[in-house]
A and B are shown apart, each in its own frame.
Chain A
Amino acid sequence: MIVIIFLVFIAISILLIIAANMDSNKKNIPTDSKNKEEERRGQFISIISHQLRTPLSIVRGYLEALEDGDMGKLTEGQKEYVSEASQINGDMIELVNRYLEILSTDSKTINVRPETFSISEFLKEIAKHFSSYAKATNVEIELDLPKKDIEATTDQQLLRNALNNIIQNSMKYTIGSGTITLRLAQAEKDVRITVSDTGIGIPKDQHKHVFTKFFRGKNIIHRSIAGSGLGLYVAREYITALHGNITFTSEEGKGTDVTITLPLQ
């Protein structure tokens, strides 16, 4: 499972690099060639759709068949493992769908599906989702939530994807041990979610590049930490689609705070 996810992740990274090159090549193309360029882009997206979604569909099918007991009754422990694997595979499908959406939404906006939900409960769920990975990497995940529940109307999946990207970054760059805090606060018309980590931070001279495609801090390049440099770029795309804002502060060697501000409605 992990191997498949890793391969899919690598494949997404490579394909997005190719896509980015297609974008940059497009700049000086005369208008009469742009249709052909769009056609090529469409074909490229078709290939990615087929090649990335197919292994995930297969894993989904096998896991659902197991969950249904088609191969025999599962023990409680087996059910838990299969269910968690299903959740991870589902997250990866969603991620691939979103990447495809970004690739194919050259001019149109990301499709937003708003719903009203408790942000406090949502953050608890996210912290739980990361807890076993955090434990394995010696990182503490803490929640700092206001006493009063905060509800917002936004696209839960887009927000989840953005936060997943941010937290995954924090996990990766909080090396050895440390703490990641998910903090929630409400202003008059906004809700503010901050992910703070005690990781290696981002060098000051690179701050202006943080949300650009394929950015990787120069202090991590030699540390053999895998990454595509797309996490924060994509997170910003999602948050922008939600009419929100994403900012950060960071100090090398001390940590990074990434803050998402979203309208309550």
Chain B
Amino acid sequence: MKKRILLVEDDRYLVKIYSNKLMQSGFDVDIAISIDEAVRKFTHKTPHLIFLDLILPGRDGFDFLKDLKKIQKGKKKVPVVILSNLGQDIDKKRAEELGVTDYLIKANVSLHDIVHKAEELSI
């Protein structure tokens, strides 16, 4: 069975690049371009892994992490990898406090790094 990834990203070019690469690497990819859509898709079909951007239109990635905490209360947690171009210590700390598994800075990682991360964490 293919592993399902929820990609929360609003930039249409990055959506195309990341989703194509992940699909070519054998993953099913669900795309959400806003937090509301991400919550809906997460609730409809639980993914094996989430790649989450932080800056999104309206509510941001940190809001999604708070929502996720409530939704997953008492349940098995789905790993979340931040995939953002924000990279200050304060952003990383905040994400860590909200329970993320890993934090990647888009500009500093290759497509292969992202695929490896997906293979490593989507178990």
Contacts and interface: CB of A to CB of B under 8 A. Distances in A.
B19 to A, nearest CB: 11
A58 B88 contact: no
A54 interface: yes
Interface in B72-123: 84-88, 90-91, 105-108, 110-112
Interface of B: 11, 13-14, 17-18, 20-21, 24, 55, 84-88, 90-91, 105-108, 110-112
Contact of A49 (B17, B88, B112): B88
B108 A61 contact: no
A97 B20 contact: no
A68 interface: yes
30 contacts: A42-B88, A46-B86, A46-B88, A49-B87, A49-B88, A50-B84, A53-B85, A53-B105, A53-B106, A53-B107, A54-B11, A54-B85, A54-B106, A54-B107, A56-B107, A57-B85, A58-B14, A60-B110, A61-B14, A61-B17, A61-B18, A61-B111, A64-B110, A64-B111, A65-B17, A65-B20, A65-B21, A70-B24, A96-B107, A97-B107
A104 B91 CA distance: 13
Interface of A: 42, 45-46, 49-50, 53-54, 56-58, 60-62, 64-65, 68, 70, 93, 96-97, 100, 104
A104 B87 CA distance: 11
A14 to B, nearest CB: 18
A42 B90 contact: yes
B91 A60 contact: no
B21 A70 contact: yes
Given A60-B107, A65-B20, A65-B21, A50 B14 contact: no
A68 B107 contact: no
B88 A45 contact: yes
A42 B21 CA distance: 33
A70 B20 CA distance: 9
